[in-house]
Amino acid sequence: MELWPAIDISAGRVVRLVQGDFARRHDYGEPLEWAHRLVEHGAERLHLVDLDAALEGTPQNRAVVAAIAAAVSVPLQVGGGVRSEDDVEELLSQGVARVVLGTGALEDPDFLARCAARHPRQVVLGLDYRRGDDGEPEAASRGWRRGSGRTVADVLAESAPLPLAAVVVTAIERDGTLRGPDLKGLAFVLESTDHPVIASGGVGQREHLVALAGLRPPPPGRALAGVIVGTALLNGTLSIREATGACTQSA
């Protein structure tokens, strides 16, 4: 299971939100400094999100992303406000390894299909969800402000034939809380798609990573391809070395 340290960017700063709430955000400093620091401490890849673009739908921190891409040698996976094929082309031309499509993919499935066909294994489906009153996970869009009206199962089924690099699955209600990932939801996703699955949301300690590394839906099924960790690495609860080690173990 690959570790993807997260750098979420808003107004040119590294921030972490709790459950996607901009009113509950913590500032951690300069993105480029954090990128260097994480790589120097052993990060082999980075996950970047332009939070402002995710909310507004237009690039807000693209220059920051470009600066990080130019400064570090590890693969970057970048999302947030990618709503056009030109956005995808621009990010890839800057040296980004993978581009994450969230709202654009949900609102226009043909857009996701075109981008995946043009850039096979370089496009990632970003699937962020909340559970409805019926317990069914619903995909969210527009910076998590809006429900899409589409279930996670439906979106995964629709994306099945596409040459995607992965599906990033974020449990919004767990994100930034440090209280543990949604193991049940992730097991459901692993059962529902053949694409590599990257978990996001809720990791706060080593034991959470060990549980994710050992997650196998019956009979047993396949494992998670990766995990995104943000707050726990930024606040020092976990080190890159400790987190990387936990990703290779299982409970």
Residue 38: pLDDT over 70: yes
**pLDDT attached to residue 121:** 98
The answer to the question of residue 90 being in a domain is yes
The reported pTM is: 0.94
Going by C-alpha positions, the residue among 135, 118, 107, 117 that lies closest to residue 126 is 107
Q: Which residue has the higher pLDDT, 143 or 92?
A: 92
**pLDDT attached to residue 144:** 56
Residue pair 175/202 in contact by the 8 Å Cβ criterion: yes
The answer to the question of residue 81 being in a domain is yes
Mean pLDDT within 26-47 = 97
| Domains held by the chain: number | 1
Q: What sign does the CA torsion over 173, 174, 176, 178 have? A: positive
Query: What is the token pair recorded at 212?
Result: 């994710």
Which of 8, 52, 175, 182 is catalytic? The answer is 8
The answer to the question of residue 251 being in a domain is no
The answer to the question of residue 86 being in a domain is yes
Residue 226 lies in domain: 2-246
Is 27 one of the annotated active-site residues of the chain?
no
Which of 50, 52, 87, 128 is catalytic? The answer is 128
Residues 6+ positions from 182 with CB-CB distance below 8 Å: 171, 173, 174, 201, 202
pLDDT tens for 137-195 read 888 876 556 566 789 999 999 999 999 999 999 998 898 889 999 999 999 999 999 99
Rounded to the nearest integer, the mean pLDDT of the chain is 93
Query: What is the token pair recorded at 17?
Result: 């939100």
**pLDDT attached to residue 218:** 86
The answer to the question of residue 214 being in a domain is yes
CATH number at residue 184: 3.20.20.70
**pLDDT attached to residue 145:** 64
